[in-house]
Amino acid sequence: MPTRHSSDLLVIGAGVIGAACAYYAARRGLNVTVVDRGPVAGGTTGAGEGNLLVSDKGPGPELELAQLSTSLWHELSDALPREIEYEAKGGLVVASGTEDLAALRTFAARQAAAGVTAETVPGDRLGDLEPHLTPGLAGGVHYPQDAQVQPALAAAHLLRAAGGRVRLRLGEPVTGILTATDGRVRGVRTPSGDLHAPCVVNAAGAWGGELARLAGVLLPVRPRRGFVLVTEPLPRVVRRKVYSADYVADVASGSAALQTSAVVEGTPAGPVLIGASRERVGFDRTLSVEVLRRLAAQAVRLFPVLATVRALRTYAGFRPYLPDHLPAIGHDPRRPGLLHACGHEGAGIGLAPATGQIIAALAAGDEPPLDVRPFRPERFGDGAAC
């Protein structure tokens, strides 16, 4: 068991990424301390919809990470309590016109070649999958591998399932990174005292860039704000995650400007979640009525039945954005002993198990379950942070 001030691995961040790192490290026999300035899932995780998606990812490293995570989430759904609301409900991407549908089918064919189950659906059969979907759409693609969890509960139960090998230090901001004379990381400083470990994991989400600066390295993580509308509880009028084809382009875009595209999904508890918006405005949480109007109007165009439904609340979160849309996962050679597990943007909940497995393997000195070179943290520059 760890002592009060030392462990084998120190994870900064108690969101779902940090929780997955702790869970898989504990399963390897490592003693882990998780430190967060707030509560469990108090940042991006708590503001997420809980999407576990392959449908929005083209062939490449991120899709491979998602495919591994898809299988791991299925395993976790048996190991964790039902309260995480894991639901393998599938996703449906729809196109309003023939041009959008052609592009969507081309994208789906590339995904299918990479192992994704992607089933084309003609416009006149969309109602078989979603009876309340607006008529007249050109067609779509059904992704049965898409799923959903309740993200805050998933993070909490991952930490609980890790057992006695994981110690939580909540409400303790990290104010400094401790290093030895040779520059190697040896722990962190908090207002409550120093915590020591031979490996420190930056799982600070949208604040991962700030944490990297404390360690003296550059990692250009920036917050990308998004809003979600939550309706009153309803009968299951939306069976799957349903979104328009332009959502995929918004995910891949690096624009700082406001982008909105219809994303609508039901939940086991009854409320319908409506997104998605993206904009880079720093850590500004100011409520945007313009964004909410856009989201509501786009959702009603997809599901006219929602026109008379009340929106009970809205919330904002910050996606941890990196310029090439790939997370930073693995050892940082610029600062030995420091590992990164952040920058997943809007896919962190879905990609958490694979990320956790990779970090746990690297911390234990073993081979990771897939090639981590595309995610290397130093790819943005070898210089020290200013």
Section 277-281 average pLDDT? 90
For 301-340, write each residue's pLDDT tens digit.
999 999 999 999 998 999 999 999 999 999 999 999 999 9
- CA–CA separation, 240 and 265 (whole Å): 6
Pair type for strands 241-244 and 176-179? unpaired
For 36-68, write each residue's pLDDT tens digit.
999 999 999 999 889 999 999 999 999 999 999
Mean pLDDT (the chain, rounded): 93
Q: What is the percent of the chain where pLDDT is above 90?
A: 87
Q: Does 257 lie in the same domain as 125?
A: yes
What does each C-alpha distance from 15 to 65, 133, 261 come to in angstroms?
18, 34, 26
Cβ distance 170 to 39 under 8 Å?
Answer: yes
Is 280 within a domain? yes
pLDDT of residue 254: 61
Task: Enter the tokens of residue 279.
Answer: 């904009």
Is 335 within a domain? yes
CATH number of the domain residue 238 falls in: 3.30.9.10
Is 77 within a domain? no
Single-letter amino acid code for the residue at 200: V
pLDDT of residue 249: 62
Q: Does 228 lie in the same domain as 210?
A: no
Cβ distance 241 to 232 under 8 Å?
Answer: no
pLDDT band at 35, cuts 50/70/90?
Answer: very high
Is the model's pLDDT at 250 over the cut of 60? no
Which of 279, 295, 321 lies at the terminal end of a domain, its last residue?
321
Is 295 within a domain? yes
Is the model's pLDDT at 84 over the cut of 80? yes
Q: Which residue has the higher pLDDT, 5 or 42?
A: 42
Contacts for 241 with CB less than 8 Å, ≥ 6 apart: 51, 53, 55, 89, 90, 91, 92, 146, 148, 263, 264, 265
- CA–CA separation, 201 and 18 (whole Å): 8
Which of 306, 321, 336 lies at the terminal end of a domain, its last residue?
321
The secondary element (H helix, E strand) that includes residue 127 is helix 126-129
Which of 300, 321, 342 lies at the terminal end of a domain, its last residue?
321
pLDDT band at 378, cuts 50/70/90?
Answer: very high
Number of H helices, E strands in the chain: 9, 19
pLDDT band at 121, cuts 50/70/90?
Answer: very high
- Residue 343 pairs with which residues in a beta bridge? none
Q: Does 373 lie in the same domain as 237?
A: no
Q: Does 285 lie in the same domain as 175?
A: no
Is 175 within a domain? yes
**Count: domains in the chain:** 2
Section 162-184 average pLDDT? 97
Pair type for strands 91-95 and 241-244? parallel
- CA–CA separation, 48 and 63 (whole Å): 20
Query: Could you report how far apart the first and last alpha carbons of the chain are, in Å?
Result: 38
pLDDT of residue 252: 56
- CA–CA separation, 335 and 55 (whole Å): 36
Q: Does 366 lie in the same domain as 351?
A: yes
Task: Enter the tokens of residue 272.
Answer: 């319908």
Is 315 within a domain? yes
Residue 313 burial (C-beta neighbours within 10 Å; 0-12, 13-18, 19+): exposed
- CA–CA separation, 182 and 161 (whole Å): 36
Q: Does 268 lie in the same domain as 139?
A: yes
pLDDT band at 382, cuts 50/70/90?
Answer: low
E strands in 57-111: 91-95
Section 106-111 average pLDDT? 97
Q: Does 373 lie in the same domain as 307?
A: no
CATH number of the domain residue 22 falls in: 3.50.50.60
Section 130-138 average pLDDT? 97
Q: Does 272 lie in the same domain as 311?
A: yes
- The pTM score is 0.94
- CA–CA separation, 377 and 269 (whole Å): 38
Q: What are phi and psi of 311, to 5 degrees?
A: -90, 120
Is 20 within a domain? yes
Q: Which domain holds residue 165?
A: 9-48+152-221+324-380
Is 337 within a domain? yes
- CA–CA separation, 255 and 239 (whole Å): 31
Q: Does 228 lie in the same domain as 119?
A: yes
Q: Does 374 lie in the same domain as 334?
A: yes
Number of Cβ within a 10 Å radius of residue 115: 12
Task: Enter the tokens of residue 255.
Answer: 């624009």
Q: Does 188 lie in the same domain as 315?
A: no
Number of Cβ within a 10 Å radius of residue 88: 14
Q: Does 248 lie in the same domain as 311?
A: yes
Is the model's pLDDT at 3 over the cut of 60? no
What does each C-alpha distance from 126 to 133, 135, 181 come to in angstroms?
8, 8, 63
